[in-house]
Amino acid sequence: MRALLIALLIGLSSAASAAELKVMAAGSLKDAFAAVFADFGKQYGHSFAPVFGPSGGLRERLQKGEAFDVFASAALPHAQTLTDAGISGPSMLFTKNAMCVVTSADRPLDTDRLVETMLKPEIKIATSTPVSDPSGDYTWEMFRKVDAMHPGAFDTLSKKAQQLFGGPATTMTVSDLLAAIDQHRIDLLVYYCSGAQQIVRDSAKYKSVALPPELVVGPEYGLTVSRKAQAGAADFAMYLMSPQGQATLRAFGFVPVTLPGGP
């Protein structure tokens, strides 16, 4: 009887483990996905084993064979790379974001004066890390747009930008970055608008400045499901595209792509 009970418990444990979906996702999605996981789990009974980090680094791990069920990247091309390699099924755009600049609330800065301020020699700019993290790639794309209006600006901005997060050797947290602003070690932080909005909500010490229209870049987030995914992974991907999933992403500052239009 005891042996039968142990075998039953082991079987139940294995079933629970099998239902745990491994979602590899961009770090910028962490808070939004926590809410999505909770909602999906209540409705469909799945639990999650999420791994968050810079999308480029995650994509490299998956290309090397790390097991996963769903990959949610801050850049659609990273997901498409796995599709093209036969590692996952089709990739799709599932949400958008924007880039903003975070600075101290008392700094006299607005969208109209952003380019002029960034180009000042004394202004210190913090960014994510290109290649490893799409946030850095989008920032470098924005620098190139500035260069189109002010020749030589890309060289100036890319050289003085401090790549403080999103890379394999960078460990600064949001708290560290904000402390750097407080201590005047950096003046401007180029950040996803979704995260910038959260920073401003949490503290009146900071403000978020939108990019001028001519500098707007991406970001476009990509979603793909492993060809070896467990049951439930495709349902989760569909849930992210559903009105409920998209509404949750919007609540966390993302731009929905599949919500029904109004009347």
Strand 51-53 relative to strand 23-26, pairing: parallel
SS (H, E, C) 166-180: CCCCCCCCHHHHHHH
Q: In the structure encoding, which two tokens stand for residue 29, read together?
A: 């999605």
User: For residue 89, which amino acid is it?
Assistant: G
The pLDDT, as a whole number, for residue 13 is 39
CB burial class (10 A; 0-12, 13-18, 19+) of residue 134?
buried
259 and 246 Cβ atoms separated by less than 8 Å: yes
The pLDDT, as a whole number, for residue 171 is 76
- Residue whose C-alpha is closest to residue 135's, from 238, 222, 28, 228: 28
Q: Which helix (H) or strand (E) holds 209?
A: strand 206-210
The pLDDT, as a whole number, for residue 261 is 64
Strand 125-128 relative to strand 161-165, pairing: parallel
- Residue whose C-alpha is closest to residue 35's, from 50, 13, 20: 50
The pLDDT, as a whole number, for residue 4 is 33
29 and 94 Cβ atoms separated by less than 8 Å: no
Q: Could you tell me which residues come within 8 angstroms of residue 182 by beta carbon, excluding any fewer than 6 positions away?
A: 104, 205
Handedness of CA 228, 255, 52, 93 (dihedral sign): positive
The pLDDT, as a whole number, for residue 262 is 52
- Residue whose C-alpha is closest to residue 225's, from 81, 68, 76: 68
Domains of the chain with CATH codes: 19-96+219-251 (3.40.190.10), 99-215 (3.40.190.10)
List, run by run, the mean pLDDT of 10-residue segments along the chain (263 residues).
36 49 97 97 93 95 97 97 98 97 96 96 96 94 97 97 90 92 97 96 96 94 97 96 96 90 55
DSSP state of 121: T
Alpha carbons 34 and 131: distance in angstroms, whole number:
26
To which residue do tokens 């999906």 refer?
40
Q: Could you tell me which residues come within 8 angstroms of residue 81 by beta carbon, excluding any fewer than 6 positions away?
A: 59, 63
Alpha carbons 90 and 3: distance in angstroms, whole number:
45
pTM score of the predicted model: 0.87
Q: In the structure encoding, which two tokens stand for residue 143, read together?
A: 């620098």
Q: In the structure encoding, which two tokens stand for residue 243, read together?
A: 């009105």
